[in-house]
């Protein structure tokens, strides 16, 4: 049997090694070229170092992406850059920065980018995700329609107060025992939208109504992703666009307000001394014989401050839907090229320690002067600002004041015996509290 000489084997291994070396060299050259090609333009906002190809994926926690964004902004200021693959993103925060982008230079930052949730849910149609002429038409139509059906008028206030009576009956039926308030609150708030869109309300045990609300809730519990593309649409008034506009009204107009009210119940149960102060003000201004009215709001600064603090701490929308820069411009002295996706972050603004002395604590005094008068803060923007400001802001403010005041006029909310109160939230487009039980004790007249 012939014995293979080592010198005969060496060239084989040498060629293999050279092939591996060649592949590694090609990979290195590719990464170097890609890094240079994807290098941000001069005077672009700073941000954490991103790896080739994947960018800053490793900087973002899948379990708390908004927390990761806030940490990055904490390191770099009110504007910071990120990259994911070959796409560049900007995180914007700070009242002055958002005002510059969305008010002073609104024409450059009005449009939405294309991303998977947009494609999956609404194909770029409706009120929230449409752009250009289509968006302007739909928004103008929605605002005029909401006004026509009573937003800001006594007629809508009457609808809200009527619904609060049905809500009162539903809560009373629980007889002070522990119950989950999620469904009945969602039902009540959704019925306000139903009154506007359909002209009538649904009973709380209506199965079709429950299915509609379930679908609406699932939209706001989808995972958050900001990259991807979808087809462009330029159509205006048609049945499909109308459908998606109605979906937007239900999703945005129900989930945000009902979740804020749920957080309100939790905070009142957690801080009974604050709840008692609100009830004292209600008793002094309204009493127990009549329902609240929007006319009472100026005389109830403490209650109004508590509602604002609930909105601040609940932080329902840590970020508004992203925008895309449609032309070369500047923000905060940095050059922003066309095509960059912008993520407006509200969370750092609402928890800004330079604006709120005890930013990490629930404290209604943040919205009160020493004399007890209500203080309006410019940096308080849970509904966003500029041309894309929430079209239902006025409706939401009415619902929050009337429903919340009606709750505390009739009930005292407390934690069930033996239950530890949790302030944990569900991660999604909107941050709602995890399911909880609470007791509603009827107040003695």
Give phi and psi for 246, each to the nearest 5: -65, -40
Torsion, CA 51, CA 62, CA 97, CA 355, rounded to 10: -130
- Note whether 335 and 44 are within 8 A (CB): yes
Say if residue 1's pLDDT is above 70. no
pLDDT at 155: 76
Is 104 domain-assigned? no
- Cα–Cα distance, 84 to 74 (Å, whole number): 20
Percent of the chain with pLDDT strictly greater than 70: 79
pLDDT recorded at residue 235: 43
Helix pair angle (239-270, 182-197), 10° resolution: 140
Q: pLDDT for 157-208, tens place per residue?
A: 888 999 999 999 999 999 999 999 998 998 899 888 888 777 778 777 777 7
Residue 325 in domain: yes
Q: Which residue would you say has higher pLDDT here, 217 or 345?
A: 345
Higher-pLDDT residue of 441 and 7 is 441
Per-residue pLDDT reduced to its tens digit, 222-273: 555 443 333 744 445 566 666 667 777 777 778 889 999 999 999 999 999 9
> In degrees, to the nearest 5, what angle opens at C-alpha 245 toward C-alphas 244 and 246?
90
How many Å apart are CA 429 and CA 406, to the nearest integer? 28
438 contacts 414 by C-beta, under 8 angstroms: yes
Domain membership flag for residue 390: yes
Is 102 part of a structural domain of the chain?
no
More confident residue, 84 or 115: 84
Q: What is the CATH number of the domain that holds 334?
A: 1.10.630.10
pLDDT for residue 228: 37
pTM (predicted TM-score): 0.83
Establish if 346 belongs to a structural domain.
Answer: yes
pLDDT at 32 over 60: no
Q: How many CA atoms lie less than 13 Å away from 329 in the CB half-sphere? A: 18
- 383: containing domain: 132-442
- Could you tell me if residue 223 is inside a domain? yes
Is residue 37 domain-resident?
Answer: no
Q: In this structure, are residues 115 and 231 in contact, taking their beta carbons and an 8 Å threshold?
A: no
Q: Are 259 and 403 in contact (CB under 8 A)?
A: no
Please tell me the total count of domains within the chain: 1
Report if residue 92 sits inside a domain: no
Q: What confidence tens digit (pLDDT) does each residue in 120-143 have?
A: 666 667 777 778 888 888 788 777
Alpha helices in 122-235 (DSSP H): 132-148, 154-172, 182-197, 207-220
CA distance 23 to 28: 9
Flag the least confident range among 3-7, 17-21, 54-58. Answer: 3-7
What CA–CA distance (Å, rounded) separates 152 from 136?
22
Res 329: pLDDT: 95
């Amino acid at each position: 049997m012939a014995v293979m000489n080592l010198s005969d084997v060496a060239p084989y291994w040498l060629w293999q090694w050279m092939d591996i070396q060649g592949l590694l060299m090609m990979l290195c050259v590719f990464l170097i070229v890609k890094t240079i090609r994807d290098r941000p333009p001069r005077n672009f906002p700073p941000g954490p170092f991103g790896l080739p190809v994947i960018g800053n994926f490793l900087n973002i926690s899948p379990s708390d992406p908004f927390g990761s964004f806030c940490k990055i902004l904490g390191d770099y200021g009110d504007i910071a850059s990120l990259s994911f693959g070959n796409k560049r993103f900007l995180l914007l925060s700070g009242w002055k920065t958002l005002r510059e982008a969305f008010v002073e230079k609104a024409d450059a930052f009005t449009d939405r980018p294309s991303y998977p949730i947009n494609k999956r849910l609404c194909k770029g149609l409706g009120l929230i995700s449409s752009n250009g002429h289509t968006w302007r038409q739909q928004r103008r139509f929605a605002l005029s329609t909401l006004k026509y059906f009573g937003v800001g008028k006594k007629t809508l206030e009457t609808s809200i107060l009527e619904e609060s009576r049905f809500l009162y009956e539903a809560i009373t039926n629980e007889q002070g025992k522990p119950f989950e308030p999620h469904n009945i609150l969602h039902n009540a708030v959704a019925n306000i939208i139903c009154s506007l869109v359909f002209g009538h309300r649904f009973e709380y045990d209506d199965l079709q109504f429950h299915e509609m609300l379930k679908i609406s809730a699932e939209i706001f519990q989808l995972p958050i992703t900001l990259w991807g593309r979808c087809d462009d649409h330029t159509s205006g008034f048609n049945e499909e666009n109308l459908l998606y506009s109605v979906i937007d009204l239900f999703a945005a107009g129900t989930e945000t307000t009902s979740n804020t009210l749920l957080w309100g119940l939790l905070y009142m149960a957690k801080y009974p001394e604050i709840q008692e102060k609100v009830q004292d003000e209600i008793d002094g201004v309204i009493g127990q014989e009549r329902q609240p009215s929007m006319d009472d709001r100026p005389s109830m600064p403490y209650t109004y401050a508590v509602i604002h603090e609930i909105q601040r701490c609940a932080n329902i929308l840590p970020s508004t839907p992203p925008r895309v820069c449609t032309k070369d411009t500047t923000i905060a002295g940095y050059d922003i090229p066309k095509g960059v996706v912008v993520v407006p972050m509200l969370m750092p603004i609402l928890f800004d320690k330079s604006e709120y002395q005890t930013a990490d604590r629930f404290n209604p005094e943040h919205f009160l002067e020493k004399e007890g008068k209500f203080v309006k803060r410019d940096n308080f923007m849970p509904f966003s600002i500029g041309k894309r400001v929430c079209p239902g802001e006025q409706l939401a403010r009415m619902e929050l004041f009337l429903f919340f005041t009606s709750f505390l006029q009739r009930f005292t909310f407390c934690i069930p015996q033996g239950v530890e109160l949790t302030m944990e939230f569900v991660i999604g487009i909107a941050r709602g509290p995890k399911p909880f039980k609470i007791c509603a004790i009827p107040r003695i007249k």
